[in-house]
Structure 1
Amino acid sequence: MKNTAPLKVLIVGADVSTLTLALLLEQAGVDYLLLENSDSIPVVAGGMTLHPTVLPLLEQLSLRDDLFFFSQPMEQVLILNSDMDDISTYDWSDRQARYGTWSRFITRPEYCTMVLEKLPESKILFNKIVTSVSTIENDDETGANDDHDRDSIEGRQDSILDTDIKDEQGEARGVTVECADGSIYTAHLLVGDINSEVERKLLYSSGRESLQREGEDRPGMDRRDTPVREIQYHVSGITEELDPQRIPLLKEDTTQLRLVLDGKSPLSWWAATLVDKRIAWQVTKRVMLSEKSSRPADLGSFPHEQAAAAAVVNQISQNMMCPLGGTMAQLLSWTPQSQISCRRWDDRHGSVDSNSSRVLLLGEACRKMVPVLGEPAEETILDALALSEVLVALPSTSISDIQEAFSRYHKERRARRQSAIDESRELDLTLNAKGSFRKLYRSMMLNYTPKYIQDRRSDEKYAYRPQANFLERVPDYGRVQPNVSSYSRRYSNGEREK
């Protein structure tokens, strides 16, 4: 007989994807608890673009007014060379008419803040440092029985609802997280941010839980096994409030985002105006395999982000012009140290996930999307939506149904995920790759692609404007009709794949 106890979800690590998931579960009435090891939301500094794909969903989540307060519409992206001469322009001025809404630019901290304010304080626990993650099942469900794990939670009462997860026969089962302060939390499944302690506990665990790349036949393979051919360090920041007399573009009521391509160095950079007279910026350093002997140390992984950021920041010279006015060195001097962060990207293929039957990882590092024009953050919001839909549709909390839900989630997201990865890589190569051939290709793609082809590609992409099927739908005013079909929607209507 299947377990029919109400679903309980444990979320570890607070970021764009996990906070969005928490809000979706909150509005769906699914029990959850979010654990964060810091004393506040440790969001990466910098900005992100929210495109028409996710804006109807955010309106469903009652975030529309907050989003309009914290963000500005973005009508275009200007691309310049290092001499500040125009190369091309991405024209987004018709997006509201075609898709019902503008693209909007917002800082990551402000996105997470506006989501956090919609969540009950009792559901978010700070200063929870995870020290262990374990699962417990019966032999007939997993083929394994971990007596040590079973003993470790026996009699403990610090679970998600002050009671351990049990089946109808009273057997303890589920996923258990122990924290440094001695507290223990249990749930039917765990969703961890890829940059949280969950990844590290699973990655270095010798038990059943481990990480694997999606599509690999060898469970638990370390994602670092694949040779690296390119590394990118993305250092981002948010300035203090600035005087519009010094930067006149701050007076505009739309976001001014300008990207600089320097054909003479491995650096590229962009800067964008914010709604409150601040500027979000990013400097990217690319290191190719052929430069391996001279490349900086691999400082992009926890806990060396500050050292990696310093290595890139040291290369910001006085002659690096800021596309909004002044220099990038001035922009850096106007940025508090607490508002500078660094992330590392490399070209190892494959999505990263846990092969545990009860643990799933979310976040931008789960897939190898190049962080360009906000695409990775937007995809993680769509991940949160797809996951929430299959969890809301769970017929029971048995391990077989949980595994089936994970499988449906991956099936729904796999095709779009790979498409997004390919698109981000192609966009990155178009904008940033060096060499005369790429320069010619960039000029052809940006300046000579017919408008009707650009519109067709854009319509194909932004016709996908999904909304949560368990929430009341909001109107869609786009001229291009939305395509909201999804596997989870079909499943929620009772159609399983044959």
Structure 2
Amino acid sequence: MPREFKVLIAGGGMAGLILGQLLELAGIEYMIFEKAPRPTTLGSAMGFGPNIMPLFEQLGMLEDIAKISKLVDHTLVLDEDLNVVADIDGKAMRKKLGYGHYIFSRPDMFQLLLSRVPAHKVFFSKKILTVEEEIDKVTLKFSDNSQISGDICVGADGGYSAVRQSLYRSLKARGILPRKDMEDLTFGFYNLLGTTNPMDPAKYPALAAPDCKIELMQRTTTKHALHTFTVPGNRFCWNVTNHVQTDEGANCTVFRNSEWGNETAQSMCNEVRDFKAPFGGTMADYIDATPKEAISIVMLEEKLFKTWYGSRTVLVGDACHKMLPSAGQGAINAIQDAVVLANNLYDLPDRPTLKNISFCFNLYRSERYPMAKMAFQLSQQQSKLISGQSLTDRMKRKMAFSYIPQFVQNKAMEKPNAYRPQVNFLPMVPDRGTYKVLQRRLSKRYQEEMGVSKAV
């Protein structure tokens, strides 16, 4: 049934596009505003696993994802002489958890998600200047002198969210913004990354394999980490990670905007060209096979904010929890935010009063914050384990890969994969695998409309 309120989504990334698709299914009016002038073509490898794949099965997208992805069977960790330090088996986890881990290029996934939202509801070149709240509406004002009003504003606009900044200014003026939320994001790493054009499988046999080949190389002489992934189309996704020490991070003003861009990438490309590459050759081979406009450098910050909403504004994704990427939890948690928020918006009474909206936002934050906190901590641990270059990090890495049994490492990954939110106003897909999944809550409205009363 159509709903009588309008949602304004700031940000056309993965969280914003998934939320748009879900609101479309829920019959809720929405518009998506993206500051970039065109759909993104930047990024490297990303992955989805058991804690998000039930949603895509529910939405009928498994075949679409399979076409742009490869499943992970093994992940190899190498030293800079290409010796295998660790071989992490993904097959055993797949059987237990019911789904495998799919690896794809970020631009491919972005295009897939964009195709699922009506084109007339996504607006590009819409940079938000201010978010103004009144008792009965919220208004976005843009740099092109236009404005739009609605009932709810969703800040899905990234780690340096204009929506969050506007909300926090208002809360700070009222003296109710926690001190922690006033602090800057913490810098940990920066990445040079890209996705190649098709390369020759005869020269790089890993490209011809049906499964995704992942090789992570640790360099000790230059303190870089090289991550390389095979994706469909005989392409490599690659990134070079550099660990930023605390005192260095404070001076990295060139990266402070945290934007995907290639303006500052050339000097780092020159710095790493002669490095041995995990799948053979040197990094120059991968860099030269990647279109210049598709190479970017991005600062990797982290911060878990306490305040996720206020009045008619609510935050999702990087806008409220910016995570380091090594555990692959950033995009997954952003999408989980979108799912849980859509579920609660579906149950929002037709009259979008401030009281009703605040109740809805509180339910959303209450479910998501503990899970986001767990994922945030996992991301910290994994990033230091995979890419950290301090003496402590290197010692922990050696201990983990040399002495801790694989089943112990797998056990640590089971808890995050037990949380698998689905759209609670659509038929649920059954649990897969043998691992116990956390119980899900059905929509009250769905139960009333469909005569369903059993929780799943």
Residues 431-486 of structure 1: per-residue CA shift (max 9 Å, x gap): 22335554343222223223443343333332222221111112333122322346
- Which of 426, 432, 436 aligns to 2:387? It is 432
CA drift at 1:368: 3.9
Which position in structure 2 is the counterpart of 1:106?
104
Which position in structure 1 is the counterpart of 2:325?
371
Query: Residue 248 and residue 191 in structure 1: after superposition, are their counterparts in 2 closer, same or farther (change >3 A)?
Result: same
Q: Does 2:154 correspond to 1:200?
A: no
Residues 206-231 of structure 1: per-residue CA shift (max 9 Å, x gap): 9637799xx96249x5442x7x5x53
Query: Residue 431 and residue 182 in structure 1: after superposition, are their counterparts in 2 closer, same or farther (change >3 A)?
Result: closer
How far apart in 1 are the matches of 2:394 and 2:131? 49
Residues 362-386 of structure 1: per-residue CA shift (max 9 Å, x gap): 2335324211142211111111111
- Which of 270, 277, 286 aligns to 1:314? It is 270
Q: How does 1:287-302 map to 2 (within 5 A)?
A: 287-291=244-248, 297-301=253-257
- Which of 160, 164, 174 aligns to 2:137? It is 174
Helix, strand or coil: the match of 2:343?
Answer: helix
Query: Residue 301 and residue 279 in structure 1: after superposition, are their counterparts in 2 closer, same or farther (change >3 A)?
Result: same
Contact 1:14 1:36 in 2 (8 A): yes
Which position in structure 2 is the counterpart of 1:259?
216
Residues 395-452 of structure 1: per-residue CA shift (max 9 Å, x gap): 2411111112112211111111111111111112222233555434322222322344
Which position in structure 2 is the counterpart of 1:442?
397
Which position in structure 2 is the counterpart of 1:158?
none
Q: Does 2:150 correspond to 1:187?
A: yes
CA drift at 1:175: 0.9
Which position in structure 2 is the counterpart of 1:401?
356
List runs of 5+ in structure 1 lacking aligned partners: 138-172
Q: Does 2:189 correspond to 1:246?
A: no
Helix, strand or coil: the match of 2:304?
Answer: coil
Q: Does 2:178 correspond to 1:217?
A: yes
Q: How does 1:25-424 map to 2 (within 5 A)?
A: 25-42=23-40, 44-137=42-135, 173-195=136-158, 199-200=161-162, 203=165, 208=170, 217-218=178-179, 222-224=182-184, 228=186, 230-291=187-248, 297-301=253-257, 305-318=261-274, 320-346=275-301, 349-351=303-305, 356-364=310-318, 366-395=320-349, 396-424=351-379
How far apart in 1 are the matches of 2:10 and 2:249? 35
Contact 1:263 1:435 in 2 (8 A): no
Superposed structure 1 runs of 4+ greater than 4 Å apart: 204-207, 209-212, 290-293, 302-305, 352-355, 488-495
CA drift at 1:55: 0.3
Give the counterpart letter for 1:337 in structure 2.
K
Query: Residue 264 and residue 489 in structure 1: after superposition, are their counterparts in 2 closer, same or farther (change >3 A)?
Result: farther
Query: Residue 132 and residue 441 in structure 1: after superposition, are their counterparts in 2 closer, same or farther (change >3 A)?
Result: closer
Query: Residue 447 and residue 301 in structure 1: after superposition, are their counterparts in 2 closer, same or farther (change >3 A)?
Result: same
Overall identity of the aligned pairs, in %: 25
Contact 1:300 1:308 in 2 (8 A): no
Contact 1:202 1:211 in 2 (8 A): no
CA drift at 1:69: 0.7
How far apart in 2 are the matches of 1:290 and 1:196? 21
How far apart in 1 are the matches of 2:260 and 2:21? 31
Decide which structure has the larger Cα Rg and report it: 1
**TM-score, normalisation: structure 2:** 0.88
How far apart in 2 are the matches of 1:365 and 1:79? 32
List runs of 5+ in structure 2 lacking aligned partners: none
Residues 146-187 of structure 1: per-residue CA shift (max 9 Å, x gap): xxxxxxxxxxxxxxxxxxxxxxxxxxx211123344443211
**Alignment size in residue pairs:** 446
